[in-house]
Amino acid sequence: MNILRYGEYITEKAAFDMLLESKAVFSAKLINLLNRMKSNKVAKSILGFQSKDVDGLAQNYVDVTDSKEDFTFTPDRKVQQLIAGRPEVYKVVNSGRYLTHSDRNNKIFERLGYDKTGRENWAPETGVLLKILAETQSVTGNTYCMVEEVLEEGSGEPRIGVINKAAIEIDNDELKAIWKTSRNPVKVGRFARAFLTAAKVEFSDKDIEEFVNQYKATFDFAQNALAQFDIVKGNDIIHWYWVDQYQSGGGTLNNSCMAEADSDWLAIYAKNKQVSLVILYDDNGTVTDGKYTSKKIKGRAILWECKVNGQDGMFLDRIYTSHDSDVELFKQYAEKNGWWYKKSQTMSPDEKLTNGSQDISRPSIVCKVDDANPSGCYPYMDTMCFINMNGDLVGNSVDAVDPEGQYSSSYDEYDGPIRCARTTDGEWYSPDNY
């Protein structure tokens, strides 16, 4: 055995020996990447040991690095020195990731031993301190924790709730140091091999090779947040508009008045090929054949193939997200594709537009659709709310859809060719009432 190969053997043996000492603990970043690879046998096996006591496994605190080639871990003996006598207290860093008392969460509650009967549906606010009572992994790969509020002695009864573990972090400098102290690098493939061997999970060389290749591809995707966007048309617009497809939390997305819109209301979008929906998948998706997908979205915006001030273009309508920070991602995506978008995400039809390098004040936006009245019902339309029935035109002003003033003197509240889609019940107004 030459020196190089022997050195590689020692590195692998060290990883294997440490794994034999206790149990595996993974960083949130690593869990997130492995969750995106759930179709991979090795990734699924590794995730199965998350936060579990398993005989023969080391307490490794495994983390990703800046390179897709390596993981790092801290030896168990050092971990024990750092955690000795220190309680694990967590702080909420994202208040929107708690579970509601919806019946669809009952299976998670049952596994956690959480009884919601007669209990407050507690939403822990940012900064609140917690201790974990129990945790479990959902079928989507998320880890949910039953948590109890940490209070000063004599401050009353602590509240109990269920929260996504990604929304909390250790609130102890010594414990945080585990992820920075005595870190040892190991190649992704060697670690996977050592891990599965220690865990007595059967695998082949091909399994390890496929895992390494998919991990590298997933790592690359994670560095590019714009890869989580997709553009859909037709009935897929209706599917992704519905609240069940939203990432839980708040923001303009979860508070949208159209989150439970009847499918007929959305026909103006779904039945016209000039209209698309730009969606931003949440962070719990998977990468398959080079494409990122998920069952949930954390943002959406209607995309119009239209004329902006008489010039052919694409207009990204008002952006709805569960987190304000993701609005910037939509703007970056729009600029990358050369689209116009609203400079401020308001409901105003005449909001200033920009494409990142040029601004337009009081723009004229009009889209020639196949059918301006496919169902007789309409959603609340923030920008493109004026509809010319005779010309099959949708725009952001009466002048945009009726440039010659042909119908300007014949408005009627209940009749007439021009409608204004600004109600939340599927109905419409006369432009006079806007």
Question: What are the structure tokens assigned to 174, written together?
Answer: 């010594």
pLDDT of residue 409: 53
Question: What are the structure tokens assigned to 341, written together?
Answer: 């978008």
Q: Does 408 score more than 80 pLDDT?
A: no
Print the SS3 string covering 335-399.
HHHCCEEECCCCCCCCCCEECCCCEECCCCEEEECCCCCCCCCCCCCCCCCEEECCCCEEECCHH
Q: What DSSP designation does 125 have?
A: P
In this prediction, residue 210 has a pLDDT band, given cuts at 50, 70 and 90, of: very high
The CB density around residue 240, as the number of other CB atoms within 10 Å, is 18
- Taking residues 128-146, report their average pLDDT: 83
Residue 419, strand partner residues: 387
List pLDDT tens digits, range 277-295. Answer: 999 999 888 888 888 999 9
DSSP SS3 for 317: coil
Highest mean pLDDT range out of 108-117, 195-204, 425-434? 108-117
CA 112, 87, 57: angle at the middle one, nearest 5? 65
Who wins on pLDDT, 412 or 151? 151
Kind of pairing between the strands at 353-354 and 340-342: antiparallel
Residue 277, strand partner residues: 232, 302
Amino acid 309 reads N
List pLDDT tens digits, range 254-270. Answer: 999 999 999 999 999 99
pLDDT of residue 8: 44
Are 145 and 127 in contact, with CB atoms under 8 Å apart?
no
In this prediction, residue 114 has a pLDDT band, given cuts at 50, 70 and 90, of: very high
Cα gap 183→178, rounded to integer Å: 8
Are 352 and 342 in contact, with CB atoms under 8 Å apart?
yes
pLDDT of residue 5: 40
List pLDDT tens digits, range 309-352. Answer: 999 999 999 999 998 878 988 998 999 999 999 999 999 999 99
Residue showing tokens 């220190």: 86
For 317, counting Cβ atoms within 10 Å of its Cβ (0-12 exposed, 13-18 middle, 19+ buried), the class is buried
pLDDT of residue 153: 77
Listed range (85-99, 345-359, 375-389) with the worst mean pLDDT: 85-99
pTM of the predicted model over 0.85? no
Cα gap 329→352, rounded to integer Å: 19
Q: Does 57 score more than 90 pLDDT?
A: no
Cα gap 106→145, rounded to integer Å: 14
In this prediction, residue 405 has a pLDDT band, given cuts at 50, 70 and 90, of: confident
pLDDT of residue 336: 92
pLDDT of residue 10: 42
Amino acid 299 reads G
In this prediction, residue 13 has a pLDDT band, given cuts at 50, 70 and 90, of: very low
Angle between helix axes 188-198 and 3-19 (nearest 10 degrees) is 40
Q: How many helices (H) and strands (E) does the chain have?
A: 13, 22
Q: Which helix (H) or strand (E) holds 109?
A: helix 106-112
Listed range (9-18, 21-30, 116-125, 274-283) with the worst mean pLDDT: 9-18
